[in-house]
A and B are shown apart, each in its own frame.
Chain A
């Protein structure tokens, strides 16, 4: 578990970029959820768990998913906006969930299905928080069940699948040559002399 400086800074920078994207998302969230109830708004949920699968997929180290989601949530603290400290708590719960998926595969398998599982687990983590803090337990069982199902699906697709798509596009730009994702790929292709483009 030896992190290189560039990996540390990349993790932080990408998580914070995700956090900036989350900021816009949370202003949209509440008006929609008040109108159609928690169920309808859940479709959008997955974006909030993007940071974990995306960064874990690039960095491929234990702890990356948890750190990513907590730092992304910390943006709300540092910008002094809306949910501040509570976003830190929910970010921690989501990060733990997302981390669990990679832990189950012993940080060896970084396929699309692992990423989607990670998004789904992050959704479960956030659901645990919502039950404890946001009073989701007070919804009718039907509403609660539907919310839960939609959130998991959204987490897997908007979190996991989107993370994979974004990471693949980023890989194409050549900026990720120095990171574990591309390194492993080069090894698979038998390309031993790593090119050092992408600066």
Chain B
């Protein structure tokens, strides 16, 4: 899934992670739908410019989230607080404020999804961990432990589906989600523990003790292009916010919201 040829893939993963998390924190401070929508559109534009996204990719990966958008919007529109009631039926109570807030949060969630996708679709996990070791001083013990563990994820996933299939073929029908959950977790965890034990012993047997001074095959650094990307991203976010402010759309979270 990771496309390493695009420009965004060349940005230092730790820097990219920090930058995207900061934009997401900024999104949390905004409480109006227009600004949130603008910032969401920005993430799509960045994806097209630097992430190598094309229409097909967007249709395949982003459009499914419109259903998610509607759900989040609906939750706040139907269960949110507000004075001006638009419609009421069953246990749903739709208000103007609810719609306004619902749109804000729905666009914010879409923003979270796409900024997250921008990161995950252009970041190699091994490079991310190496960059965490070098840029964030994650101890090698945890870094390599994490790398070893990451190989388990697809294994766990296939094991889980295998267990489900094995139960099914023997005629076991799960009564309720929780019961089947209890049924599959235990084997999954015991396998996990055994695998972890073997990997740890293998690492120690090869002389890995996680000590700090060590050599690396590949040392990620922070280069000028990383700063340029951050500068571009933050400038774009700030100018869109300023634009929204000049139209009088902007609302901060701490100012409360008004429809």
List chain A positions with a Cβ less than 8 A from chain B: 3-6, 8-17, 19-21, 23-24, 28, 30-31, 33-34, 37-38, 44, 47, 67, 71, 75, 77-80, 82-86, 88-89, 132-135, 138-141, 143, 166, 169-170, 173, 175-176, 178, 198-199
Contacts and interface: CB of A to CB of B under 8 A. Distances in A.
Among B78, B91, B112, residue most surrounded by chain A Cβ atoms (within 10 Å): B112
Chain B interface secondary structure, helix, strand, loop or mixed? Answer: helix
Interface string B135-176: 000000110011011101100110010000000000000000
Given A13-B193, A138-B105, A85 B21 contact: yes
A4 to B, nearest CB: 8
B4 interface: no
A21 B152 CA distance: 13
A82 B157 CA distance: 16
A137 B124 CA distance: 36
A166 B146 contact: no
Contact of B208 (A5, A23, A38, A173): A5
B80 A12 contact: no
A45 to B, nearest CB: 13
B120 interface: yes
A14 B71 contact: no
B66 to A, nearest CB: 13
A88 B112 CA distance: 11
A133 B193 contact: no
A115 to B, nearest CB: 16
Interface residues of B, number: 71
Contact of A78 (B105, B125, B142, B203): B125
28 contacts: A5-B203, A6-B200, A6-B201, A8-B141, A8-B200, A10-B197, A13-B149, A13-B193, A13-B199, A16-B150, A17-B156, A21-B160, A34-B75, A37-B91, A38-B79, A44-B177, A71-B146, A80-B117, A80-B120, A82-B113, A83-B113, A85-B112, A133-B108, A135-B108, A139-B81, A170-B193, A173-B186, A175-B197
Nearest to B65: A82
Given A16-B149, A138-B101, A166-B189, A143 B210 contact: no
Contacts of B152: 13, 16-17
Given A5-B203, A9-B149, A9-B203, A169 B186 contact: yes
Interface in B45-79: 68, 71-72, 74-76, 78-79
Chain A interface secondary structure, helix, strand, loop or mixed? Answer: helix
Contacts of A132: 28, 253
